A and B are shown apart, each in its own frame.
Chain A
Amino acid sequence: EAGVAQSPRYKIIEKRQSVAFWCNPISGHATLYWYQQILGQGPKLLIQFQNNGVVDDSQLPKDRFSAERLKGVDSTLKIQPAKLEDSAVYLCASSLGGLAGAPNEQFFGPGTRLTVL
């Protein structure tokens, strides 16, 4: 079974530029997550999709970050304009979609390491 795919793996940009990351979840997984992992910290949830609808985006900086999952499969996360503090690894994860009363395992992709200069 193929895992969660992400691209690019690495990206270096200047501040105020824009950048986009792509994620392809495991086939059949209804739930997709984007996390931000700053060096020395644990991952922080940015946004969660259930199929193509947003379940939780409470920690997404909406003035500069946006995400979409138009057909309920692939997803893109965009930053425009980027700031120095956006330097981090951006992780995508997917899960089957929780059955009532029990969380399904989240499977993580390898991440995209973003450096903002």
Chain B
Amino acid sequence: AQSVTQLDSQVPVFEEAPVELRCNYSSSVSVYLFWYVQYPNQGLQLLLKYLSGSTLVKGINGFEAEFNKSQTSFHLRKPSVHISDTAEYFCAVSRRGGSNYKLTFGKGTLLTVNP
């Protein structure tokens, strides 16, 4: 089975500051990794995913994440945040080699960008 730990439940930052949202996972098998964003009263939207290849993955809205196999981490970063980035962010994993690509989510990190 897989599990995901998002180390911070809330992250407040000021506009134009850099931000890092931390994610660690646990799995006995290789995994795919994802970050989703959820704006208030909306469904989840995929930000980026790591399937294979380069460990630095770039996504939408200027976000990027780095897969670190030895640390079992997949932290999300943005060099300069905007007010509009205020949302809940979820890290998720899916088992490699399976046939149903079931997603296991972390509990989420609420990013609040203040002016």
* Chain A residues packing against B (C-beta within 8 Å): 4, 40-45, 48, 50, 55-56, 91, 93, 95, 98, 102-106, 108-111
Contact = CB atoms under 8 A, between A and B. Distances in A.
A58 B113 CA distance: 38
Q: Mostly helix, strand, loop or mixed at chain B's interface?
A: strand
**Which are the 8 A-B pairs with shortest beta-carbon distances?**
A42-B105, A108-B43, A103-B101, A108-B44, A55-B100, A110-B43, A109-B43, A98-B101
Contact of B100 (A56, A110, A111): A56
Given A42-B90, A42-B92, A98 B107 contact: no
Interface of B: 4, 32, 36, 41-46, 49, 51, 90, 92, 94, 99-108
Contacts of A43: 44, 90, 103, 105
Contacts, number: 54
Given A102-B51, A103-B94, A106-B46, A42 B4 contact: yes
A106 B47 CA distance: 12
Contacts of B32: 103
A13 B99 CA distance: 37
Nearest to A38: B107
B95 to A, nearest CB: 10
